[in-house]
Structure 1
Amino acid sequence: MVNWMQMHDCFGDVDRVPGLLERVELEDDAELWKELGYRLVLEHDLVFPAGFAALPSLMRLSSRSAQARELAGTILRRAAGHHGCDDLLAEGADTIAEFGKLLDRHLQSRPVDYFATFLDLLAAKGEYHWSAVLGDFTDDFYHLACPHCAVEVTIAIGEYGRYSAIRDWDLGDVDRCRLRPASFEELSGTGRWMHETAVRDGHEALADGIAHLFGKAECPRCASVFHIGDEYSSDNRRVLR
């Protein structure tokens, strides 16, 4: 049972969110959802304790409410931050797992919000890093340090090309080298799951981008070859720590 007296929202209130949850369960009112979302997630970045306390109710409503599904996903995608609510997430592990199944079923319907739901499902699986940084590969750049010579390498995966390069702020991306996408057999773990899901749902551009992201790149400076996904993930997790 949630002790709402300890679960403040973005205004510091502890009594408004429980009432709003009761009301949206009875009436699917846009203004009520707008207020609830603003009280739980400030500017789509900082999640307040009331947001995590509201997750079980939001997930339960998600089967019949798109607003509940989207708000629950928004909260989960920010669960890796410093919010002091890890115990609430741990207690709700079973509910989050069921929510993940609902999100997966929604993906298979090939909805207009496919990519946002894809990111939400990554968060439901605990893959907060990729949920936060993955792009849809229309105009994506990933920056990392070469694991061998430490030069900053820009990885481009989008409609303009798929390459590694050294970024020069006057000349643009120079010394480009083509990326080497991973074959299906070479993919494993999260990369394989993402690729399989995108292929299953007919999102070929997303699947192709994932194959490149979890493939290999050549450093334009020292010509060493490395796995992009591993190095990018390692680089960014190091920064977060």
Structure 2
Amino acid sequence: MSPASFAALPRLVSLAPRSAQARGLAGRILERAAGLHGCDDLLAGCAGAIKELRGVLDRYLRTRPVDYLVSFRALLAVDEEYHWANTLEGFTDDINHVDCPHCGVGVTTAIGDFGHYSQVWDGDEEIRRDLRPVAAEQLTGTGRWMHRIAVRDGQDVLADGITYLFGKAECPCCASVFTLADEYTSANRPVMR
């Protein structure tokens, strides 16, 4: 991330309503905004442009574009949900890694065409447990917001995947049950200054 990226952000936002490339570049800049880049003052100076980009992205998503996921991820970054902006792949075959909060074993989770499960390997033996989706009406906070946007925009696969992402996972080793999104967020959400 360089100062030029943040300096370009207002211009990209002004082009974003009519340019997929500008929306994409602005989104990628914001997806990487969390971190040690030494440009916090420049980022703070872009607050107006970032607010404007949020509206542009929200309106664009309502059109149900073919590049929906790119703009959805950019919207997550605008709302400082950097860890989700950088990991969501649309739930065709999203694979994530978390540690079980009870026994500490590394657990792989899959959400998508391969199924919805948590997994560990014990030597040559694969041990899987089904993920447990949360009911849409029980979603809260970021999960509810993400799901609401996906449903509003007719993104059924994304909406369904979010219910698994914010649902429960069972550790295949110790059988403890934990909220997948909480563990992923705990391990991956950047600490902001």
Matched with 2:163 is 211
| Greater relative contact order (CA < 8 Å, ≥ 6 in sequence) | 2
Q: Which has the larger radius of gyration?
A: 1
SS where residue 154 of structure 1 aligns? strand
The alignment status of 1:122 with 2:59, answered yes or no, reads no
Question: Counterparts in 2 of 1:77-226, with a 5 A limit?
Answer: 77-167=31-121, 170-171=124-125, 174-226=126-178
How far apart are the structure 2 equivalents of 1:188 and 1:182? 10
Q: Which residue is equivalent to 2:20? A: 66
Q: CA deviation at 1:66?
A: 2.5
Counterpart residue number, 1:49 = 3
Question: How far apart are the structure 1 equivalents of 2:123 and 2:2?
Answer: 39
What is the CA distance between 1:170 and its match in structure 2?
A: 4.5
Structure 1 residue matching 2:18: 3-state secondary structure:
coil
* 2:142 aligned partner, one-letter code: T
2:183 — aligned with what?
A: 231
TM-score norm. by structure 1 comes to: 0.75
Give the Cα–Cα distance (whole angstroms) in 2 for the partners of residues 141 and 113 of structure 1.
21
Give the unaligned 5+ runs of structure 2.
none
Contiguous gaps of at least 5 residues in structure 1 = 1-46
Query: Shift in Å at residue 238 of structure 1?
Result: 8.0
Whole-angstrom CA distance in 1 between matches of 2:105 and 2:18: 50
Amino acid corresponding to residue 155 of structure 2 in structure 1: H
- The aligned residue for residue 26 of structure 1 is none
3-state secondary structure, aligned to 2:32: coil
TM-score for the superposition, normalised by structure 2: 0.93
Q: What is the number of equivalent residue pairs in this alignment? A: 192
- Cα distance in 2 for partners of 1:168, 1:130 equals 29
- 3-state secondary structure, aligned to 2:109: strand
Name the SS for the 1:140 alignment partner: strand
Alpha-carbon distance, 1:198 to partner:
0.7
Query: What SS does the corresponding residue of 1:199 show, helix, strand or coil?
Result: helix
**C-alpha contact 1:154 1:167 (8 A) present in aligned 2:** no
Query: How far apart, in 2, do the equivalents of 1:111 and 1:238 lie?
Result: 29
Query: How far apart, CA to CA, are the structure 1 residues paired with 2:63 and 2:119?
Result: 38
Q: Which moved more, 1:71-80 or 1:226-235?
A: 71-80
TM-fit CA distance, 1:81: 2.6
The one-letter code sitting in structure 1 at the alignment partner of 2:38 is G
Question: Following the alignment from structure 2 to structure 1, what is the Cα–Cα distance between the partners of residues 25 and 7?
Answer: 13
Deviation at 1:135, TM superposition (A): 2.0
Structure 1 letter corresponding to 2:28:
T
| 1:128-168 per-position Cα deviation (integer Å, ceiling 9, x unaligned) | 11101122111111111100111111111111110111135
Q: Secondary structure at the match of 1:196?
A: helix
Match of 1:175, SS?
strand
Query: What is the CA RMSD across the aligned residues, in angstroms?
Result: 1.8
Q: How far apart, in 2, do the equivalents of 1:136 and 1:106 lie?
A: 17
What is the Cα deviation at residue 206 of structure 1?
Answer: 0.6
**C-alpha contact 2:108 2:118 (8 A) present in aligned 1:** yes
2:110 partner SS: strand
Task: State the identity %.
Answer: 61
